[in-house]
Amino acid sequence: MKDQPHDNAMASLFREDPALAAATLDAILADGDREELLVAVRQTNMAFGGTSVSATPCSEDPPGSVGST
């Protein structure tokens, strides 16, 4: 395991113990450390097969949103 990158090692631990992933995120949220939260979210995403999201600006509001016609 020592030759795995840290993110891969943490993702593996989180897969083996989802409660650890939840407790880790809870603790980081309580601390309010944004950078640490982003790392943990990335590792959790790796562990549980999250998706990649690409946002692009939209020229108009979606129907039903505030400000739409």
* Count of domains observed in the chain: 1
Span 6-64, pLDDT tens digits? 999 999 999 999 999 999 999 999 999 999 999 999 999 999 987 665 556 666 666 66
Q: Rounded to whole angstroms, how far apart are CA atoms 19 and 33?
A: 20
Residue 26 is assigned to a structural domain of this protein:
yes
Cα angle for residues 52, 57, 58 (degrees, 5° grid): 115
pTM of the model: 0.65
Number of C-beta neighbours around residue 68 at 10 A: 9
pLDDT of residue 50: 72
Taking each helix axis as running N to C, give the angle between helix 18-31 and helix 6-16, from 0 to 180 degrees, rounded to the nearest 10.
Answer: 120
Residue 62 is assigned to a structural domain of this protein:
no
pLDDT of residue 2: 54
Residue 1 is assigned to a structural domain of this protein:
no
